[in-house]
Amino acid sequence: MSIENPFYTPEFHGEYDLVSIGRLDLEDGGSIPDCVLAVATFGTLNESKDNAVLVSTWYSGTHQIWRDAYIGSEHALNPDRYFIVVVDQIGSGLSTSPHNASGANAGITMSAFPHVRIGDDVVAQERLLREHFGIESLALVTGGSMGAQQTYEWAVRFPDKVRRAAPIAGTAQNTDHDFLFTRTLIEAITSDSGFAGGEYTSNDQVQHGLERHARIWGVMGFSTEFWKLRVYAGLGFEDMDAFLAGFLQPYFTAMDPNDLLCMAWKWQRGDVARHTGGDLAAALGRITAKTFVLPISEDMFFPVRDHTAEQALIKNSELRVVDDVLGHLGLFSVNPEFMPQIDRHLQELLDTPA
């Protein structure tokens, strides 16, 4: 039976629409009988329908961080020029997810939720854009982390539809190291006896596991230098424990364990080479989009060199390193020097004819 979680409501995520795209058959078998995508849009689709930008979301993130930090008339993602569609990933807690699967989806609730892959999200998003908005071509696809995975998947799977791509802090083929890191996140949750094989009745029962999960994020999500420089002090936190207790722990403990696990499983297996029998070069060779690859300098698990290796395999691409001592979680845009860099790169990319 699905469960209520007040975190996944407009109170915490602002306005968004819930759009059904119907039945979604999944790559790994099974299906979502009624796949509902949470969608936040900004700006207006022009008549020629060529000003659309698609944003996909990262692990634990939703459209709301994009609304808060990335989108606005002062940003490259400017609603005055573009029709920006942010689609929350399956398992995000807003789109169809383990904890909210009910009605037609009652058969896949909680631990019964099927495995979803990055490709499933992209297929779902393509259908949404085509059937619901009539969009056949995207001026830009972008996203951070798992959003970068989806961006690559779009550019490889639908090269004719993606004119520009900007994967931020994420790779086209997930690495073994990332797989292992994600496994520790998963195990932090599932090792909590309150998890009960996924059949808890409230995320509160898994608080210890979610807190451990948050602390592992503390180790890998930022950089060693973030902690060394006590960057959190500038955010108003007295010490490391106050920062964890005031930010990372409440951030994650509000969330649904099964939803996080759904996304984690998906993250672990992101790989565009599934389209080419394991040949990454061949897969990335399919990309025709003008592509800016944007790693974050201090990222501990999507390191710059992993991006560099993939960027070298993309014809029409450039590597643009974003400097941020926050590391991967620089994506939260806490550092005032983060967004100006993102904006500069995205603006230049958007201004490039494609």
- Kindly list the catalytic residues: 145, 299, 328
Size of the site for a copy of itself (CB under 8 A): 35
d(CA 66, CA 77): 10
- Name 291's bridge partners: 165, 317
Pairing mode, strands 36-42 and 83-87:
antiparallel
Sorted by sequence, the CB contacts under 8 Å of residue 154 that are 6+ apart come out as: 54, 56, 122, 125, 126, 138, 141, 161, 162, 165
> Using the rule CB under 8 A, is 245 a contact of a copy of itself?
no
Q: Which two tokens stand for residue 72?
A: 């606005």
Nearer to a copy of itself, 9 or 193 (CB): 193
Nearer to a copy of itself, 140 or 325 (CB): 325
> Using the rule CB under 8 A, is 133 a contact of a copy of itself?
no
> Using the rule CB under 8 A, is 308 a contact of a copy of itself?
no
d(CA 195, CA 49): 46
> Using the rule CB under 8 A, is 216 a contact of a copy of itself?
yes
Shortest distance, position 291 Cβ to a copy of itself, whole Å = 21
DSSP 210-250: HHHHHHHHHHHTS-HHHHHTTGGGGGT-SSHHHHIIIIIHH
Of 19-27, 154-162, 210-218, 335-343, which segment contacts a copy of itself by CB under 8 A? 210-218
Q: From residue 55, give the alpha-carbon distance in Å to each of 46, 58, 71, 92.
A: 18, 10, 10, 14
With CA atoms as reference, report the closest residue to 62 among 7, 106, 112, 19: 7
Pairing mode, strands 17-20 and 36-42:
antiparallel
Nearer to a copy of itself, 167 or 209 (CB): 209
Nearer to a copy of itself, 25 or 239 (CB): 239
> Using the rule CB under 8 A, is 180 a contact of a copy of itself?
yes
With CA atoms as reference, report the closest residue to 87 among 31, 130, 49: 130
Of 37-45, 61-69, 117-125, 180-188, which segment contacts a copy of itself by CB under 8 A? 180-188
> Using the rule CB under 8 A, is 197 a contact of a copy of itself?
no
Instruction: Let me know: does 318 contact 344? Beta carbons within 8 Å.
Output: no
Shortest distance, position 96 Cβ to a copy of itself, whole Å = 30
Shortest distance, position 330 Cβ to a copy of itself, whole Å = 16
Where are the extended beta strands (E) located within 276-334? 290-293, 317-319
Instruction: Let me know: does 87 contact 54? Beta carbons within 8 Å.
Output: yes
> Using the rule CB under 8 A, is 220 a contact of a copy of itself?
yes
Of 94-102, 127-135, 176-184, 269-277, which segment contacts a copy of itself by CB under 8 A? 176-184
Residue 145 exposure: Cα atoms within 13 Å on the Cβ side: 24
Shortest distance, position 336 Cβ to a copy of itself, whole Å = 23
> Using the rule CB under 8 A, is 264 a contact of a copy of itself?
no
Q: Which of 177, 282, 297, 321 binds a copy of itself (CB under 8 A)?
A: 177
Q: Which of 102, 175, 276, 347 binds a copy of itself (CB under 8 A)?
A: 175
> Using the rule CB under 8 A, is 303 a contact of a copy of itself?
yes
CA terminus-to-terminus distance, the chain: 47
> Using the rule CB under 8 A, is 176 a contact of a copy of itself?
yes
> Using the rule CB under 8 A, is 228 a contact of a copy of itself?
yes
> Using the rule CB under 8 A, is 153 a contact of a copy of itself?
no
Point out which residues bind a copy of itself (CB under 8 A).
175-177, 179-181, 183-184, 187-188, 191-193, 208-209, 212, 215-216, 218-220, 222, 224-228, 230, 240, 244, 300-301, 303, 305-306
